[in-house]
Structure 1
Amino acid sequence: MRYGFEGSWNRLKPALPGRSLTYILFLILHSSLFTLHSLAQPGTWHLHPSYRSAQTVAAVQNRIYCASENGFFSYDPTANEATRLSRDDGFSETGVSQLAYLADQKRLLIGYRSGTLDLLTVSDAGEPVDVKTITLIRDATQITGSKRIHLLTRTGTDAYLACDFGIVVLDVTKTEIRDTYRNIGPNGTSVAVYATAFANDSIYAATSRGLLAARFAPSVNLAFFGSWKTVPLPPGAPVRSVVGVGNQVYVAVPGQGVAQRQGGRWVVIQSIPAITGLLPTATEWVATAPDQLLRPSGGLLQNALVGEPKEIVEAAGSFWVADSLSGLLRITGTTVQAVSPDGPASDVFQQLASVGPMAQMLALPGGFTDELKPLRRRRGFDRFQQGRWQNVLTTSLPTDFSTAVYNPTDQRTYLGSFGGGLWSYSGENPPEVVNRALANISSLTVDPNGELWLATPSLNVGQTTVSVRRKTGQFDPFTPSRGDVQQLLIADNGFVWMRLSPANGGGMQVFDPATNRTRLLYDQLGEGGLPDRNVRAMVRDRDGLIWVGTDNGVAVFDNPMAVFTGTVTAYRPIFDRNRLLSGESVTALAVDGGNRKWIGTVNGLYLFNEDGTVLIDHFTSQNSPLPSSQIRALAIEPTNGEVFIATTSGLVSYGGTASEPVPVFAGITIFPNPVRPDFGGLVSVRGLVENTVVKIMDAGGQLVYETRSQGGMATWNLRDYRGRAAETGIYFVFAVTADGKEGLAGKLAVVR
């Protein structure tokens, strides 16, 4: 047996008495050999929100706080540093919709889309100290529907919260809800309130039923709809914003400019024909137009970074803009700087792809609906590598990438787009066009010979819908019997499996390019036996079996080579005495290095064992950091086993406990190493061959733990067979092949 680590057990054991344990731990703690921060920690979650969709901003002492649709962060202007904030820092939820600083109390009020309120006490420098949470709005059973908090307007000791169900009055000194105004629309109808403003002796509310106003006085019952009157607006004026500044009220009038309420009528006081909105600051209004911000004194800024401003504050000699396209902007004079943390450009992705040997994950914005139309259009795609996100742009024209695959033969990533053809990407230079003529590409895959297969869906009979790009660069066309191909998969024997559009009858077809045979598979016994014709996902596992996700659970084709002979009926794994996920719509499938099945549905994410009979984990938005239980796409980075999950409300990743096995031992990685006192997760051993036996021994030579690898990874929960926590010391890790002929050894330091 050989060991690929510095020193075997026999060489290390005698050295222990001659050196103090403290000295040995010191050496390991300061050795870069044992620190690999880029690895995903098994069993832990990582949020990947877009910080560009900024919605709200607040100046808090010496810091700026900003929230996007799913992200939250603070920015230190002096240090030019952004700090990400999340539930791990004590905040209640994700989905911040409103920030407002209560300067006299040094507290930041944080409103969420759910109706939850956090009151964050800050230090003199604006750093978080502690959080108090108010859930009265969120938990109010008498309020149905959305409880989103849109905007906060403060007067005296009261904060008026504009919500999707009405107005909530919060006493900020007593930290209690003093009143709620619901059903204040005409004749007592329910209205959503987007903003409130105070001017003269009145309170104004921009609502889903127009602009409402009431006299603001102690004698007026604002909870009574009769106290509120509809204020006529200029033709085409928006009702989602109303601004009160200097005891005057203003609105934006499309095509005209800023209008002020004077003597019971609206007067345009500043002409801005291209006006798109109106924002309040502490001292003035700011109008928005394409690439522009304007204020009463004239122009403030004209810059292409200004996309869709949502809020603006002035602090530290700069204007700070929450822009839903560009993130947090710092405007100093005529200089504009985007200062949001790095992250994907969007929270909505239709496909994920793990590409290349350098642990790259691509998040693709484009996709095909059942009608074979794109869901959205954007420039480029997002790449995650070594813990950082980068938005990779193509040209000035939108390119809606919908699929990607890595070809190890030429070491390039190929991307298919809707309307932009086929592209290739090396990871260094911008993507390059390979073939513009292939307009709409729904799927790409690479066969064992290193040749690229493409699906170009069409409902026209006889049109080429599948092509292969040979190594020479030549494209060879094929015309299967059905052309509405949404996904391609190459079986071990070279047959091409295709997922078909549910909008055109659904089902699947298998194509043999050697003979041009095609077989359609549906839900009839003997003709596929699918649980449902609507097929949403398809994947080949490590044993060559084809797993299929439908609107009625999962099916498996366990003999793909015999698909053209006789009857074909997929089998359905049995779990908990039922067909696997029967009745659930399965939207995404992925196979990890241990051949375990990750299954995304509209009701959460499941992890099953290799044959689908044992449930290992079930994650939902209620029991995990998933921003939504509706899963859109899955992809697993093979080297470290990190599982990326695209939901309808954002992107997250999970440190998996399985990775792709290596073909032969070359060296093992133990992470984290050393284990520090505050660590409570799983230690992972990586770089293993299939079915490796891993033994962990203490310094006295006693066996502490033994397990087998899941693919190329094994994990230890830092407890022995009796459940006792590992004590401070040096532990030795032995990894041995299943036949016992090869092995590696490593050291692990545990500090408690």
Structure 2
Amino acid sequence: MRWNVRWQKRARRAVSCRPFSWFFLIILHSPFFVPDSSAQPGIWRTHPSFLSAQTVAAVQDKIYCASENGFFYYDAGASEATRLSRDDGFSELGVSYLAYLTDQKRLLIAYRSGTIDLLSVTATGEPAGTSTITLIRDAAQISGSKRINHLGRVGNDAYLSCDFGIVVLDVARVEIRDTYRNIGPEGASAVVYATAFANDSIYAATSRGLLAARFDPAVNLAFFGNWKTVALPAGSSVRSVVGVSSRLFVAVPGEGVAERRGGRWTVVKAVPAITGLVQTATEWVATAPGLLQRESGGLVNNALVGAPRALVEAAGSFWVADSLSGLLRISGTAAEAVSPDGPASDAFQQLVAAGQPAQVLALPGGFSEDLKPLRRRRGFDQFRENRWQNFLTNSLPTDFVTAVFNPTDGRTYLGSFGGGLWQHQYQNPPEAVNRVLATISSLTVDPNGEVWLATPTLNVGQTSIHVRRKSGSFESFAPNRGDIQQLLLDDNGFLWTRLSASNGGGMQVFDPATNRSRLLYDQTGEGDLPDRNVRSLVKDRDGLIWIGTDNGIAVFDNPSAVFTGAVNAYRPVFERRRLLSGESVRALAVDGGNRKWIGTANGLYLFNEDGTALVEHFTSQNSPLPSNQINALAIEPAGGEVFVATPNGLVSYGGTSSEPTPVFSGISVFPNPVRPDFAGLVSIRGLVENTVVKVMDAGGQLVYETRSQGGTATWDLRDYRGRTAETGIYFVFAVTPDGREGVAGKLAVVR
């Protein structure tokens, strides 16, 4: 019968608790709490990169800056950065432009979606309340992108440069006054990157070239015929146009800054590597790699300046939003990076989590929401002790694609697509292990601490699976098919491999002990996969192999029999249909309670052990997920925190299940004490599997009872009647399923 192995194991876990003396427990076991730095259960954390800075604004004593998916302000006096998110009242992620309206004492925050937040600030520049304008975002007559790229202001009118045209916002009345669309030649649509005002005209840098119109109330700027094309120097960029004291300037690639005089362009400052122009209150500044050139003289020549996008002058310094280095503070010729810590990228193709000590490794890359490959960058990122560390040295490959943690030697092994095998331990610089096996697609580690790796090939008979023995020597194998994209080791020592979709897809199981290979496809008796395009593999806590395909989930419930006779995958049923049928399953992870986390193009799912009951379904609409497209998942085992990679950023969720401990060695109760403003779940961690947890009040009355999910139990601070826990001291008792061992602790609740 299917699932018989799993049901037997579940039955062993569910042994009823034997009678136990709670008073005796208190005497023999004093409370022992271990530190807990993971996210609180049910609480989301965002992990944006702050290095891709796009825009900056000076607000009183604070410098506000936004990267592609991050937002923060920097207090120059205190030298402290404060992160901002939707939890602080802001509408969404993806800030595209910032502008401080000095007379209004409000910060205009424009988003890629077209949404506008107007942030009121205190006398020292801290956030003090937000109002939102959604007319652009919700305009049904505007199709395509509604991104806001720039703001130019004349009086109370703010001219917003958008991907569809120009919107005029009355900042005093907070209302949209006008919209200019299709202003290109012959009424063509045009992306507007920026506007500038010089002499009696408004200029627009657009995807159709540099456009100009007479700036006069009598001129209808909504009519394309009133916009004329301005001839540009050969090869010049029109993404940036600047008007300073009624003078007009553009950047000319390969030459420098050009000014329009008498209908002609004249280069007024040579900057051969120029990438753009930005504007301060009094002058223009030309940008180039490693260089900022002021109109009034040299500003800085510093390698930390990578790709400047915007700058402001405040608090005696220049503040530069640099898309490679984050927010830079420039004083004289010295440059200093002041962004909050975070990963160096927003998109990752693989996440690897490990406990003892808790850490997560993130490899850049992945897929966009339309499944196009995202740009990779050099190195990788590590999250440890609640801080991110970036390993970005030039000696590292630009294409790490796979990693695995080896608990035997405490090292993380990384494979690159061209740079070979590397190893890394904590904060030490990564070291090359083997550069001969250059192209590695997947890594796994066996219980003996030996590292297995795949080097994909289409050549029949060529070795494509290798093992690095503990001695440091390598042994190679040649299974039937070598186009291996992922390796997974089962409890029998068999290697389950995901094969390239471009070469027919499917799966292959290889036994290195006997050199047997078994190919699995979508035919009955030969795997019966829901789809040949296999996207992800994972082994659960019962040893079952879960498969994510372009047509949902499949499970091999008897891996030991894969080489004997007919083999058919089982497809769990949820709500009378095959589990996630029709959905592309791109990521799978198993938590400490053997529950299944499943990442698709329609959000993140959490199912019970066998996939028959839905526990959670998170989307970008009901959670902080920045996208419904899930690229990778990893669960930090000690705390159960679930890390989720999307094309628009990395987030993590405080899970309610962690890896169980073999024996009790101390439990953590968090938060403790519970303060009046806390509205989440209390977590009890450090438990053995299926622990019985009881919460009692100071009078000895039972308040709550549950069993752990893996090594974690949670309490919603309500008693068995649904009443909120009152102020007081509560006792937490945890007992193994057989009743032979237990620990106790105290929890303070303040209301």
TM-score, scaled relative to structure 1: 0.95
Residue 258 of structure 1 pairs with residue 257 of structure 2? yes
Closer, same or farther in 2 for the Cα pair 1:3/1:247, shift >3 Å? farther
Any conservation in 2 of the 1:355–1:405 contact (CA below 8 Å)?
Answer: no
The residue type paired with residue 501 of structure 1 is S
Where does residue 16 of structure 1 map in the other structure?
Answer: none
Where does residue 424 of structure 1 map in the other structure?
Answer: 423
Closer, same or farther in 2 for the Cα pair 1:366/1:469, shift >3 Å? farther
Residue 685 of structure 1 pairs with residue 684 of structure 2? yes
Any conservation in 1 of the 2:347–2:374 contact (CA below 8 Å)?
Answer: no
Q: Give the deviation of 1:379 after TM superposition.
A: 2.6
| Structure 2 counterparts to residues 496-575 of structure 1, below 5 A | 496-575=495-574
Any conservation in 2 of the 1:523–1:529 contact (CA below 8 Å)?
Answer: yes
Structure 2, unpaired ranges of 5+: 1-17
Closer, same or farther in 2 for the Cα pair 1:6/1:460, shift >3 Å? farther
Residue 708 of structure 1 pairs with residue 707 of structure 2? yes
User: Residues of 2 paired with 1:4 and 1:154: CA distance?
Assistant: 75
Q: CA deviation digits over 1:576-633, x for unaligned, max 9?
A: 1000000000000000000000000011000000000000000111111000000000
Where does residue 217 of structure 2 map in the other structure?
Answer: 218
Q: Give the deviation of 1:123 after TM superposition.
A: 1.2
Q: Give the deviation of 1:393 after TM superposition.
A: 3.5
User: Residues of 1 paired with 2:194 and 2:685: CA distance?
Assistant: 54
User: Residues of 2 paired with 1:462 and 1:368: CA distance?
Assistant: 32
Please, which moves more after superposition, 35-44 or 279-288? 35-44
The residue type paired with residue 526 of structure 1 is G
Any conservation in 2 of the 1:234–1:266 contact (CA below 8 Å)?
Answer: yes
Where does residue 144 of structure 1 map in the other structure?
Answer: 143
Where does residue 12 of structure 2 map in the other structure?
Answer: none
Where does residue 481 of structure 1 map in the other structure?
Answer: 480
Any conservation in 2 of the 1:5–1:667 contact (CA below 8 Å)?
Answer: no
Where does residue 730 of structure 1 map in the other structure?
Answer: 729
Any conservation in 2 of the 1:367–1:402 contact (CA below 8 Å)?
Answer: no
Q: CA deviation digits over 1:41-89, x for unaligned, max 9?
A: 0000000000000000001111100000100000011110000011111
User: Residues of 1 paired with 2:656 and 2:556: CA distance?
Assistant: 26
Please, which moves more after superposition, 708-717 or 128-137? 128-137
Please, which moves more after superposition, 195-204 or 138-147? 138-147
User: Residues of 2 paired with 1:472 and 1:686: CA distance?
Assistant: 37
Any conservation in 2 of the 1:3–1:743 contact (CA below 8 Å)?
Answer: no
Closer, same or farther in 2 for the Cα pair 1:356/1:638, shift >3 Å? closer
Any conservation in 1 of the 2:322–2:328 contact (CA below 8 Å)?
Answer: yes
Where does residue 672 of structure 1 map in the other structure?
Answer: 671
Q: CA deviation digits over 1:195-221, x for unaligned, max 9?
A: 011000000111111111100000001
The residue type paired with residue 502 of structure 2 is A
Please, which moves more after superposition, 633-642 or 254-263? 254-263
Where does residue 42 of structure 1 map in the other structure?
Answer: 41
Closer, same or farther in 2 for the Cα pair 1:3/1:294, shift >3 Å? farther
The residue type paired with residue 236 of structure 1 is G
Q: Give the deviation of 1:462 after TM superposition.
A: 2.2
Where does residue 5 of structure 2 map in the other structure?
Answer: none
Q: CA deviation digits over 1:258-297, x for unaligned, max 9?
A: 1111111211112222211111111111111221111223
User: Residues of 2 paired with 1:633 and 1:394: CA distance?
Assistant: 24
Any conservation in 1 of the 2:464–2:484 contact (CA below 8 Å)?
Answer: yes
Q: Give the deviation of 1:238 after TM superposition.
A: 1.1
Any conservation in 1 of the 2:29–2:744 contact (CA below 8 Å)?
Answer: no
**Per the alignment, in what secondary structure is the counterpart of residue 621 of structure 1?**
coil
User: Residues of 1 paired with 2:58 and 2:476: CA distance?
Assistant: 60
Structure 1, unpaired ranges of 5+: 14-27
**Per the alignment, in what secondary structure is the counterpart of residue 744 of structure 1?**
strand
Q: Give the deviation of 1:440 after TM superposition.
A: 1.2
Any conservation in 1 of the 2:354–2:637 contact (CA below 8 Å)?
Answer: no
**Per the alignment, in what secondary structure is the counterpart of residue 350 of structure 1?**
strand
User: Residues of 2 paired with 1:60 and 1:6: CA distance?
Assistant: 60
The residue type paired with residue 122 of structure 1 is V
| Structure 2 counterparts to residues 297-316 of structure 1, below 5 A | 297-316=296-315
User: Residues of 1 paired with 2:19 and 2:437: CA distance?
Assistant: 53
Where does residue 591 of structure 1 map in the other structure?
Answer: 590
Q: Give the deviation of 1:461 after TM superposition.
A: 2.3
Any conservation in 1 of the 2:413–2:424 contact (CA below 8 Å)?
Answer: yes
User: Residues of 2 paired with 1:439 and 1:554: CA distance?
Assistant: 33
User: Residues of 2 paired with 1:501 and 1:11: CA distance?
Assistant: 58
The residue type paired with residue 400 of structure 1 is D
Residue 412 of structure 1 pairs with residue 411 of structure 2? yes
User: Residues of 1 paired with 2:268 and 2:105: CA distance?
Assistant: 37
The residue type paired with residue 69 of structure 2 is N
User: Residues of 1 paired with 2:669 and 2:408: CA distance?
Assistant: 31
- State the Cα RMSD in Å: 2.0
Closer, same or farther in 2 for the Cα pair 1:6/1:310, shift >3 Å? farther
**Per the alignment, in what secondary structure is the counterpart of residue 631 of structure 2?**
strand
Where does residue 617 of structure 1 map in the other structure?
Answer: 616
Q: Give the deviation of 1:6 after TM superposition.
A: 12
Where does residue 433 of structure 2 map in the other structure?
Answer: 434
TM-score, scaled relative to structure 2: 0.95
**Per the alignment, in what secondary structure is the counterpart of residue 645 of structure 1?**
strand
Closer, same or farther in 2 for the Cα pair 1:156/1:453, shift >3 Å? same
User: Residues of 1 paired with 2:330 and 2:393: CA distance?
Assistant: 28
Any conservation in 1 of the 2:423–2:431 contact (CA below 8 Å)?
Answer: yes
Closer, same or farther in 2 for the Cα pair 1:3/1:193, shift >3 Å? farther
**Per the alignment, in what secondary structure is the counterpart of residue 377 of structure 2?**
coil
Closer, same or farther in 2 for the Cα pair 1:2/1:72, shift >3 Å? farther
Closer, same or farther in 2 for the Cα pair 1:62/1:368, shift >3 Å? closer
User: Residues of 2 paired with 1:3 and 1:238: CA distance?
Assistant: 78
Where does residue 746 of structure 1 map in the other structure?
Answer: 745
Any conservation in 2 of the 1:600–1:631 contact (CA below 8 Å)?
Answer: yes
| Structure 2 counterparts to residues 86-485 of structure 1, below 5 A | 86-366=85-365, 376-396=375-395, 398-485=397-484
Any conservation in 2 of the 1:380–1:400 contact (CA below 8 Å)?
Answer: yes
The residue type paired with residue 576 of structure 2 is R
Q: Give the deviation of 1:748 after TM superposition.
A: 0.7
Q: CA deviation digits over 1:660-714, x for unaligned, max 9?
A: 0011111111111110000000001111111111111111111111111100000
Please, which moves more after superposition, 416-425 or 49-58? 416-425
Closer, same or farther in 2 for the Cα pair 1:274/1:452, shift >3 Å? same
The residue type paired with residue 117 of structure 1 is I
User: Residues of 2 paired with 1:36 and 1:199: CA distance?
Assistant: 61
User: Residues of 2 paired with 1:180 and 1:394: CA distance?
Assistant: 47
Any conservation in 1 of the 2:149–2:160 contact (CA below 8 Å)?
Answer: yes
Any conservation in 1 of the 2:60–2:123 contact (CA below 8 Å)?
Answer: yes
Where does residue 23 of structure 1 map in the other structure?
Answer: none
Q: CA deviation digits over 1:615-655, x for unaligned, max 9?
A: 00001111110000000000000000000000011100000
| Structure 2 counterparts to residues 49-64 of structure 1, below 5 A | 49-64=48-63
User: Residues of 2 paired with 1:9 and 1:144: CA distance?
Assistant: 67
Q: Give the deviation of 1:3 after TM superposition.
A: 11
Where does residue 13 of structure 2 map in the other structure?
Answer: none
The residue type paired with residue 535 of structure 2 is R
User: Residues of 2 paired with 1:546 and 1:330: CA distance?
Assistant: 52
User: Residues of 2 paired with 1:271 and 1:60: CA distance?
Assistant: 33
Residue 662 of structure 1 pairs with residue 661 of structure 2? yes
User: Residues of 2 paired with 1:5 and 1:187: CA distance?
Assistant: 84
Any conservation in 1 of the 2:34–2:667 contact (CA below 8 Å)?
Answer: no
Q: Give the deviation of 1:178 after TM superposition.
A: 0.9
User: Residues of 1 paired with 2:46 and 2:392: CA distance?
Assistant: 23
Any conservation in 2 of the 1:356–1:411 contact (CA below 8 Å)?
Answer: no
Q: CA deviation digits over 1:328-381, x for unaligned, max 9?
A: 000000110000000000101110001352001000115699xxx985442321
Q: Give the deviation of 1:107 after TM superposition.
A: 0.7
The residue type paired with residue 248 of structure 2 is V
% identity of equivalent residues: 76
